[in-house]
Amino acid sequence: MTQPISVPWSAPAFTPPPHHWPGVRVMVFPFEPKPGAVERILPPGMEPGTGPALITMLSYPQTPIIHPFKELVVMVPVRVGEVEGNYVPYIYVTTDEALIPGREIAGFPKKIADVVWERDGNHFHGSATRWGKRILSLEGSIAGPMPAEIAAAQAEGARRPAINYKLIPGPAGEIEIEEITAVQLELKQHSVEMGQGRVRCEFSELDPLAELVPDGDGPLLAILSDNTIPAGRVLRRIDRRGR
């Protein structure tokens, strides 16, 4: 019998990775962070990287082991030693099924929010609301298929690992686990379309996306893909005594 890796012991919240979703609908909005914002939010052991930051909104379908959910992810390029990837400072989901394994396995800093993901023909509307504040909204229109050479470049960029700062306290409130993790997401893209979008953020002290993401217009990518989250790895363990 396989032992649970999560609680409750009698009804575990998740199974070991990999976790697979076919037919995930994705919207991607590249952006240039506000000056100095990335440096202010990076935890120890990370340095700003090169390339665009990304807002990604996803709609996950039902699978045999998890119910449908929506997700908003904000990522910024970073470097950890020789490894380049996308650090996730903010991520929001609509269900605890999606939240718990993300936080406990790889350290994704997931929070629950009301995430809207709607596509009607070529028009897209997405938003994330927490505690009555719409912390981010994304609107846009899709013009048509992305040119093959641009799609190939986009797919290459999507291969960068997701990097997280995993921080878990012990029972007395002490730091039990503090490490930088990397997960190489596996994406099989079925279609990639391109259009134009507009992002807006409302300031929130609890969810300060507005300090990182400027309001503005930019390219909007619509992707249909099969997504797999495999087992990740530890890039670096942090020793607070050495700081």
What pLDDT shows up at residue 242?
47
Which residues, including other chains, have CB under 8 Å from residue 9's CB and lie 6 or more apart? none
Q: Is the pLDDT of residue 45 over 50?
A: yes
Q: Looking at the domain assignment, is residue 161 inside a domain?
A: yes
What pLDDT shows up at residue 149?
66
The CATH number for 126's domain is 2.40.400.10
Q: Looking at the domain assignment, is residue 165 inside a domain?
A: yes
Q: Looking at the domain assignment, is residue 150 inside a domain?
A: yes
Structural domain containing residue 47: 19-242
What pLDDT shows up at residue 10?
86
What pLDDT shows up at residue 153?
61
Q: How many domains does the chain have?
A: 1
Whether the Cβ atoms of residue 236 and residue 177 lie closer than 8 Å to each other? no
Q: Looking at the domain assignment, is residue 1 inside a domain?
A: no
d(CA 123, CA 191): 17
Q: Looking at the domain assignment, is residue 216 inside a domain?
A: yes
Q: Is the pLDDT of residue 157 over 60?
A: yes
Is the dihedral angle over the CA atoms 60, 147, 218, 35 positive or is it negative? positive
pLDDT of 168-209, one tens digit each? Answer: 999 999 999 999 999 999 999 999 999 999 999 999 999 999
Task: State how far the alpha carbon of 24 is from the alpha carbons of 117, 157, 202, in Å.
Answer: 12, 18, 27
- Residue 134's H or E segment, with its range, is strand 133-145
What pLDDT shows up at residue 156?
66
Q: Which residue has the tokens 């609680």?
A: 7
Cis peptide before 48 (omega within 30 of 0): no
pLDDT of 222-241, one tens digit each? Answer: 999 999 999 999 999 998 75
DSSP structural state of residue 17? S
Mean pLDDT score of the chain: 93
- Give residue 41's identity as a one-letter amino acid code: I
Please state the pTM of the whole predicted model.
0.94
Q: Looking at the domain assignment, is residue 4 inside a domain?
A: no
Q: Looking at the domain assignment, is residue 223 inside a domain?
A: yes
d(CA 28, CA 193): 10
